[in-house]
Each structure stands twice: as structure tokens, then as C-alpha cells.
């Protein structure tokens, strides 16, 4: 009998890429534990990671390349060889480019980030401006808000030196497990923690002050804190005088938000607003921890986060020790590799409607309008989609997108699983998990580590970058932006290439399972603005954004971080739909659509829950565990009531991504932040009605 081997590898079942020890026997993954003997892990693991074997050997894994044989969307496939698959892709994509132009092909990446730089290269080399990712609903709106204020680099809170930490909507115990250790250390040090969250989460439980606001009212709360800080003379005059543009107009504007008025808008008691303002401004240095999504999943999302980010500059906590600053780190190889911009000169999806996305955001197209673009063919048709991990349930009204996918001339999806979105494809390709591939990783603080392949790929699975490279070769593309032809060089050369700026070699890294510090690190620096102006049009921190202001007449954007209340600013009949609908606040055992197929995880909550406050239960005549219909102006779903007292009455919480009751069926596809294009996932409207007595789903 063979021995069980322990192999140092990574889990990337969700985002963070945690280092793990994989237990492998007879070539099979039998168990996973958090890595021992590395600086970041101590043997612990989250529930999703511990269920790795159910992920890797899931019966829905795609094992071979498969071609649709029936009618499109019917889900009938036949196995073909990789060779045939590559030829088919090259042939179809080249013909579509010839006939309709390169922009008619969209390159898309779902939530798995590691291969994106290579996919962007492929899109560039092919010549399409339409490279887009799941960031069309995640992080990039927060980045956009940040850049509108500070111009460049996103600064994280300096947890090691802060005396106060203001957490603005992050439930890190559930969403960023590796961070929870740092958070506990900070608590032990006696750092004051303020948490802004509509629910009393585990993270809020650990806070000194919890501001339990009504979802989507973040802007009013931040402006009110600013009002207190300015009125009580707690702001950093020197920094503001020297480095801030638009302060006088901002000061005038925030006068409209005294805490008593903000209390009415946000539901947060005026005294708590004052206390938070005084602590954040007075007990510095203070860091602000923000999140990729909840604040920007609202119609006024970008402006709300701009109001929040402005507090950093107002209190002089920008780029100082213990505030928000560029942390010392490596010359990030992944970024260096990906930093080739989108193909310029052609109008990308969403560009006309969301121009600031293109001015400030990133290398990507805003694909929230993908379905409209396919169906309406305006301003030009989209005919093909080369996707990796596309899940239509990410979008509001997912069936609308699914219908549009069926209209494409050619749609290929590389996936781990035979997902619903894969079944609509002409061709599906088997991708592989982190356990089945090698990978170079950049950890926190400039530490690099190598992730071994723990097992051979399941079926004929391939790593996404190898797939991209072969598609590139078969189309005989040239990467116009690179001297060394990196996509032609093979995966080994690719890993070498991304490691190059760190000063480490692949050989060195492979022989150091504990990881290595990069040789070329950014030296720790503070107050970088003293040497270099901010990368904004004014060269200063912009409380009044000149980029947004340009579009005042054409798009109605305001330069100040103005507050518009989503409850007033809507065509929805509130008598018909009295409840606020907040979707997708994370659960520790789920990850969007991908983990419902893992029974160990799914059965923790076997049915889709509609979480309501008991007061609402009484008001609308529905009880815990009853089956209810949830209706919004966009659609309806069924779910099981779960009484929950974490939040306030008046708000319903539902998770997304499950075919059995997807919250996204309820969100209107045109209910978007006009600046970022982000859907209002966390601030729509609904009603609930009882349809049966006992769901029987929960025991
Ligand atoms: N287990 C698990 N972890 C995940 C994910 C997952 O699906 N599952 N997803 C990953 C992804 S893609 C992302 S973007 C991150 C998100 O990471 P987080 O932002 O930390 O996660 P959320 O739970 O979405 O939101 C955090 C908190 O925001 C609160 N919130 C909801 N609406 C509002 C609002 O309007 N204003 C404010 N201030 N707070 C609000 C919620 O109550 C919640 O407690 O998580 C990542 N980690
Ligand atoms: N209602 C509502 N909707 C939301 C949100 C919300 O809060 N509420 N949150 C939004 C946010 S922040 C995000 S980030 C998105 C996430 O939305 P998605 O990116 O759609 O997330 P997943 O469901 O994880 O789907 C990604 C797919 O990628 C596949 N996959 C995983 N790893 C790999 C890999 O290595 N290679 C390949 N080729 N495929 C892989 C998975 O099997 C899965 O089918 O959802 C957004 N949608
Ligand atoms: S948080 Fe859990 S599931 Fe996500 S990568 Fe880390 S161990 Fe894996
Ligand atoms: Mo996200």
C-alpha cells in the first residue's frame, strides 16, 4: 500500500489562495489542511477549503472538451479532442473577426483571477476592446471612487500601526478568512474599532462602536461625520489647505448633514455619528478598511464611497503610518504582466453610458450591458464570446443574459463544472483547480511562494493559461505589446516571466516550500504626495472631482460626493413593494453560484433562505420556516423564511447564485449606478407573501 503524501499547494476555491497541505494517497486528494510551517497559516482552514475533495471530485466536473450537438441551450454534448476544440475555436473566432471585426468577440473572465493578465493579452492580440470580467460588479467601482478622489494607487489600512480602525462594510471573518488573524491581533492591541454595517455581524460584534445604518445610506453617514469633524475643528487643516481641491464647496455641502438629520436618513443615532467622527478624527492614526462590494452595490454607490474616502484626506490619514497607505510590497509581477491597457480606439461595451468607468477604472469593459449589446446589436453586433468561468447568475435578471447567450454565433466557456451557463455554450473546455496545476503566488508583504501540483488533472482538464496560450498559437496571433513573445513560450516560461521583476527564479522558489521574500521590494514610503502630485486633473485630492464634472451636462454627474437616497429616487411603487431587498451579503459556506453543488456545504442551509426580522414576519403574516413568495418589480422567487435579528426591520436579506431561488431574478437589469454601471444588488424593493405552511426544508 502506498503512503499518504503531504504536498504544499494552494486552495483557490474562493479568492484568497490560501496555502494548504494536501494529503494525497494513490494519486487522489484525500484531505486538506491549512499549511503548517509557513508564516501565513497555522493549520486552520475555512469550511469551503476543508470540503476540497467535494470540489475536485464533484460529479459535475467537466472532464473533456465537449461540443454542443443538439439545439443551442439543449445541453447535449459530445466529447471531442483538445486538438479539435482548439481548431474549432481558431476557425470560428478568426472568421468572426473577418466578417464583423475584432470588437465583435468578447473575452470574459468570471471570479477566478489568476489567468486574467494572459486573457487580456489574448484579447489585445486578437484586437478586441471587449475584455471584461466579474469586476463589472465587484471592486472596480470602489477603485473608481478611490481614483476620483486620490487619482491613483489604492491604499489599504496599515493595520499594524493604526490606533483606530474604521471598517466600512466588511465582514472579514466570513469573507476574508486569512485577514481574521490580523484583526484579532489588532483587537488585542486595544485598537478602537468602528464598524459600519446594517447587520450585527460577527465582525460588528467585535467592534467598539457599531453604526447600524439602513443599507445604501452610507453617503449620508459619511457626510455627516465630515460635518462633525469640520464643525468641531478636528480636521487636518494643513493637509486640506495644501493638498485638497474643492474643500470650500464640500464644506458648504456637508453642512446639509448635521447628525440629527443624518439620523433620520440612516437610522444611526446622532450621538453615535458624533462619537464615530470624534474617534476616527481624534484617535489617530486611523485606518479605513473598505470592501469591494456592498457600498457600491447601490444606485448612489460610487458617490457614497467617495464621501467615505474623503474622510481619509479630511483627517490627514492619507499615506501615513497607521492610516491608509501604499504598503511596502513587491514590484508586483502579476500587475506588471497585466498592465497593458485595453485595446484603445474602439468603443467597448458600456463605454458611452459609463464613460468614467473608462476614464478612471481599469483595463476592462463594463459588461453589465452584455445582454443588451448582443440583443440590440448597438452600436455594433457582438457575435462571439470566449469565456472562462462565465456564470450568468452574476447578472441581474440572469435569464435575460442566458437568452442572449443563445443568440451568439459562437460561445465557448472554459469551466470546472457543467454549470447552467456552460450548458448554453457551443463548446465547453475542462479547466482545472489549483490542486491540479503549478502556480507562482505573490503573498502579502512581498513574500512569494510556489504552489505544487498535488494531483494530476481530473479527466483531461488543463490550466486556463495553457488553454489561452494554445488558442493564441492556433490563431497565429502576435502580441503587439510585448517584446518577448510570452504567450508563445509555454507555461514554465510564463511563470519565469511573471517572477522576473521580483529578482527570484523559479528554481529558487521551487526549492523553498516555505516561500521567499522578493529581492526587489518597494521600500516602505509615506507621504509620497510631498514628492509627486496626485494623479488627478488638479494634481490634488479631489473632494470635487474634475473627471466626474466633465460629464455634468451629458450624464448628470456631480463633482461633489452628493447623496441621493435610493428610496426617493425610484420609479418603484413603495406601497406595493414596501421592503428593502439586500442580496448577496456573504455566507461563510457559500461562494456565489459555485458551491451549491457541494453537499457538505449546501446542506448547512439546505434551502434558499429569505432572512427577515421577526417584526416584519408579524407585519406580513409570515413565520419562521414558512415558504414565501418574494416579488419585486423585476420578478419573483420562492424561499424559506428565516427569522434573523442581525438586521433591522424593513430589510430582507437573500443570497444569490442558487438555481433554486436566485435573488438576482428579483433585481431589475436596468437598476444601475449611472456612474459605474453596478447593479443595485443591495438596495432594491420587494414584498413577501406566504404560500404554504411548512417548507419542510429545515429541521
Ligand atoms: N464566504 C464567502 N467569502 C467571500 C465571498 C463569498 O461569496 N463567500 N465573496 C468574495 C467577494 S466576490 C467579495 S466582493 C467579498 C465581499 O466582502 P465583504 O464586503 O466583506 O462581504 P459582504 O458580506 O458582501 O458585505 C460585508 C457587510 O456589508 C454589509 N452591508 C450590506 N449592505 C450594506 C450597505 O449598503 N452599506 C454598508 N455599509 N454595509 C452593507 C453586510 O451586512 C455585510 O456584513 O467577499 C469575498 N469573500
Ligand atoms: N445579487 C447579487 N449578485 C451578485 C453579488 C451580490 O452581492 N449580490 N456580488 C457580485 C460580486 S461582488 C461578484 S465578485 C460576482 C461573482 O460572480 P461569478 O464570477 O459569476 O462567481 P461564481 O459563481 O464563483 O462563478 C464563477 C465561475 O467560475 C468557475 N471557476 C472557478 N474557478 C475557475 C478556474 O480556475 N477556471 C475557470 N475557467 N473557471 C473557474 C466556477 O466554477 C463558476 O462557475 O457576483 C456578483 N453578483
Ligand atoms: S478562504 Fe477557504 S475556500 Fe477560500 S481559498 Fe482560503 S481555504 Fe480556500
Ligand atoms: Mo466580488
Nearest to 213 by CA among 650, 670, 659: 650
| Mean per-residue pLDDT, 591-617 | 96
Could you tell which of 136, 459, 592, 686 is best to mutate to test the pocket of ligand 2, judged by most ligand atoms within 8 Å of the CB? Answer: 592
Q: How far apart are CA 442 and CA 502, in angstroms?
A: 10
Q: Which three cell numbers mark 187?
A: 483587537
Task: Report the atom number in ligand 2 closest to the C-alpha of 110.
Answer: 19
User: Which one, of 106, 671, 16, lies nearest residue 364 by Cα?
Assistant: 106
In a 3-state reduction of DSSP, which class is residue 441? strand
Look at the block and give the residue holding cell 453560484. Answer: 593
Residue 278 lies in a domain: yes
Nearest to 492 by CA among 461, 525, 467, 466: 466
State the distance from the centre of ligand 3 to the C-alpha of 390, rounded, in angstroms: 20
Please say if the pLDDT value at position 131 is more than 70: yes
Residues 464-507: tens digit of each pLDDT: 999 999 999 999 998 766 655 788 889 999 999 888 888 999 99
Write down the pLDDT at residue 524.
72
Give pTM, 2 decimals: 0.96
**319/196 same-domain check:** yes
DSSP 665: G
Nearest-5° angle of CA 302, CA 306, CA 308?
120
Give the end of a domain, one of 264, 290, 325. Answer: 325
For residue 462, pLDDT beyond 70 = yes
Q: Specify the range with the lowest mean pLDDT, choosing from 45-49, 390-394, 430-434.
A: 45-49
The answer on pLDDT for 40 being more than 70 is no
Residue at a domain's end among 325, 359, 384: 325
pLDDT band at 41 (very low <50, low <70, confident <90, very high): low
Query: Is the domain of 420 the same as that of 473?
Result: yes
Ligand 3 within 6 A of 432 CB?
no
Cα–Cα nearest to 159, from 150, 151, 170, 146: 170
As for ligand 2, residues whose beta carbon falls within 6 Å of it are: 110-112, 134, 137-138, 292-293, 297, 388-389, 391, 394, 414-417, 419, 431, 464, 583-584, 591-594, 656-657, 663-664, 667, 681
> How far, CA to CA in Å, does 192 sit from each of 184, 276, 279, 638?
12, 10, 8, 42
Tell me, yes or no, whether 223 and 260 share the same domain. yes
Residue 614: give its domain's CATH number.
2.40.40.20
- Asked if residue 610 belongs to a domain, the reply is yes
Helix (H) / strand (E) containing 148: helix 140-150
Among 63-77, 195-209, 583-597, 681-695, whose mean pLDDT is lowest?
681-695
Are 383 and 410 within 8 A, CB to CB?
yes
* Model confidence at 178: pLDDT above 60: yes
Query: Which has the minimum average pLDDT: 23-32, 116-125, 310-319, 400-409?
Result: 116-125
| Total count of domains within the chain | 4
Same domain, 285 and 395: no
Same domain, 342 and 214: no
Residue 345 has pLDDT above 90, yes or no: no
For residues 669-696, one letter each, b for 16 or more C-beta atoms within 10 angstroms of the residue's C-beta and e for the rest, the string is bebbbbbbbbbbbbbbbbbbeeeeeebe
Which residues is 412 bridged to in the sheet? 386, 427
Residues 664 and 626 in one domain: yes
Residue 370 has pLDDT above 80, yes or no: yes
User: Both 188 and 274 in a single domain?
Assistant: yes
Say whether both 38 and 85 belong to one domain.
no
pLDDT of 681 higher than 90 = yes
Domain membership of residue 190 as a residue range: 154-325
- Ligand 3 atom nearest 177 alpha carbon: 1
In this prediction, residues 107-126 reach a mean pLDDT of: 92
pLDDT at residue number 479: 72
CATH number at residue 316: 3.40.228.10
Average pLDDT value for the chain? 92
How far the first Cα of the chain sits from its last, in Å, is 42
Instruction: Give the position, in ligand 2's atom list, of the atom nearest the Cα of 138.
Output: 12
Q: Are residues 125 and 163 in the same domain?
A: no
> Are 286 and 412 in a shared domain?
no
Answer with the one of 298, 325, 352 that is the final residue of a domain.
325
In this structure, the answer to whether residues 164 and 264 fall within a common structural domain is yes
497 to each of 39, 411, 503, 504, how far by Cα in Å?
A: 25, 31, 11, 10
Taking 70 as the threshold, does the pLDDT of residue 58 lie above it?
yes
Q: Which helix (H) or strand (E) holds 262?
A: helix 259-266
Amino acid at each position: 500500500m502506498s503512503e499518504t503524501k503531504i504536498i504544499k499547494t494552494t486552495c483557490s476555491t474562493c479568492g484568497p489562495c490560501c496555502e494548504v497541505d494536501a494529503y494525497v494517497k494513490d494519486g487522489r486528494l484525500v484531505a486538506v489542511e491549512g499549511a503548517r510551517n509557513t508564516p501565513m497559516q497555522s493549520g486552520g482552514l475555512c469550511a469551503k477549503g476543508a470540503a476540497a475533495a467535494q470540489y475536485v471530485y464533484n460529479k459535475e466536473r467537466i472532464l473533456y472538451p465537449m461540443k454542443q450537438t443538439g439545439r443551442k441551450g439543449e445541453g447535449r454534448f459530445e466529447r471531442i479532442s483538445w486538438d479539435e476544440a482548439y481548431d474549432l475555436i481558431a476557425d470560428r473566432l478568426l472568421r468572426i473577426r473577418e466578417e464583423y471585426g475584432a470588437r465583435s468577440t468578447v473575452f470574459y473572465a468570471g471570479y477566478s483571477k489568476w489567468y486574467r493578465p494572459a486573457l487580456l493579452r489574448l484579447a489585445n492580440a486578437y484586437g478586441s476592446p471587449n475584455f471584461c470580467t466579474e469586476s463589472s460588479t465587484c471592486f472596480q467601482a470602489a477603485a473608481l471612487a478611490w481614483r476620483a478622489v486620490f487619482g491613483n494607487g489604492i491604499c489599504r489600512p496599515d493595520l499594524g500601526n493604526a490606533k483606530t480602525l474604521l471598517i466600512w462594510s466588511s465582514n472579514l471573518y466570513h469573507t476574508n478568512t486569512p485577514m481574521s488573524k490580523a484583526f484579532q491581533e489588532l483587537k488585542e492591541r486595544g485598537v478602537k474599532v468602528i464598524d459600519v454595517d446594517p447587520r450585527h455581524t460577527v465582525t460588528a460584534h467585535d467592534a467598539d462602536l457599531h453604526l447600524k445604518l439602513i443599507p445604501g445610506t452610507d453617503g449620508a453617514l459619511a457626510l455627516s461625520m465630515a460635518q462633525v469633524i469640520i464643525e468641531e475643528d478636528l480636521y487636518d487643516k494643513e493637509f486640506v489647505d495644501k493638498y485638497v481641491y474643492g474643500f470650500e464647496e464640500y464644506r458648504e455641502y456637508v453642512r446639509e448633514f448635521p447628525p440629527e438629520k443624518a439620523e433620520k436618513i440612516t437610522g444611526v443615532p446622532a450621538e453615535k455619528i458624533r462619537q464615530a467622527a470624534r474617534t476616527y478624527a481624534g484617535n489617530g492614526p486611523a485606518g479605513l478598511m473598505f470592501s469591494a462590494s456592498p457600498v457600491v452595490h447601490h444606485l448612489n454607490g460610487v458617490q457614497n464611497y467617495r464621501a467615505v474616502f474623503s474622510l481619509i484626506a479630511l483627517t490627514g490619514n492619507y499615506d501615513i503610518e497607521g492610516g491608509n497607505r501604499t504598503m511596502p510590497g513587491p514590484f508586483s509581477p502579476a500587475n506588471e504582466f497585466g498592465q497593458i491597457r485595453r485595446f484603445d480606439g474602439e468603443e467597448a461595451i458600456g463605454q458611452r453610458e459609463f464613460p468614467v468607468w473608462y476614464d478612471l477604472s481599469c483595463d476592462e469593459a463594463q459588461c453589465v450591458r452584455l445582454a443588451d449589446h448582443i440583443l440590440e446589436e448597438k452600436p455594433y453586433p457582438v457575435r462571439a464570446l470566449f469565456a472562462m468561468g462565465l456564470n450568468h447568475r452574476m447578472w441581474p435578471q440572469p435569464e435575460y443574459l442566458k437568452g442572449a447567450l443563445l443568440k451568439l454565433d459562437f460561445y465557448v466557456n472554459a469551466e470546472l463544472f457543467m454549470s447552467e451557463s456552460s450548458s448554453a455554450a457551443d463548446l465547453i473546455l475542462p479547466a482545472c483547480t489549483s490542486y491540479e496545476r503549478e502556480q507562482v503566488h505573490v503573498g502579502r508583504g512581498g513574500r512569494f511562494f510556489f504552489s505544487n501540483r498535488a494531483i494530476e488533472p481530473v479527466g483531461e482538464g488543463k490550466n486556463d493559461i495553457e488553454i489561452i496560450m494554445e488558442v493564441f498559437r492556433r490563431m497565429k496571433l502576435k502580441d503587439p505589446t510585448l517584446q518577448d513573445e510570452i504567450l508563445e513560450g509555454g507555461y514554465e516560461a510564463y511563470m519565469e516571466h511573471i517572477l522576473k521583476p521580483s529578482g527570484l527564479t523559479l528554481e529558487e522558489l521551487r526549492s523553498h516550500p516555505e516561500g521567499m521574500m522578493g529581492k526587489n521590494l518597494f521600500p516602505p514610503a509615506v507621504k509620497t504626495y510631498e514628492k509627486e502630485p496626485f494623479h488627478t486633473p488638479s494634481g490634488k485630492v479631489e473632494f470635487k472631482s474634475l473627471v466626474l464634472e466633465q460629464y455634468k451636462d451629458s450624464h448628470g454627474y456631480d463633482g461633489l460626493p452628493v447623496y441621493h437616497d435610493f428610496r426617493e429616487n425610484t420609479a418603484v411603487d413603495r406601497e406595493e413593494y414596501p421592503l428593502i431587498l439586500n442580496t448577496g451579503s456573504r455566507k461563510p459556506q457559500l461562494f456565489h453560484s459555485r458551491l451549491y453543488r457541494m453537499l457538505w456545504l449546501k446542506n448547512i442551509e439546505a434551502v434558499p433562505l429569505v432572512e427577515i426580522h421577526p417584526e416584519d414576519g408579524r407585519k406580513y403574516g409570515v413565520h419562521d420556516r414558512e415558504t414565501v413568495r418574494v416579488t419585486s418589480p423585476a420578478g419573483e422567487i420562492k424561499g424559506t423564511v428565516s427569522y434573523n435579528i442581525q438586521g433591522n426591520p424593513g430589510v430582507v436579506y437573500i443570497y444569490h447564485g442558487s438555481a433554486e431561488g436566485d435573488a438576482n431574478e428579483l433585481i431589475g437589469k436596468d437598476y444601475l449606478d449611472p456612474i459605474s454601471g453596478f447593479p443595485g444588488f443591495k438596495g432594491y424593493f420587494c414584498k413577501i407573501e406566504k404560500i404554504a405552511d411548512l417548507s419542510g426544508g429545515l429541521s
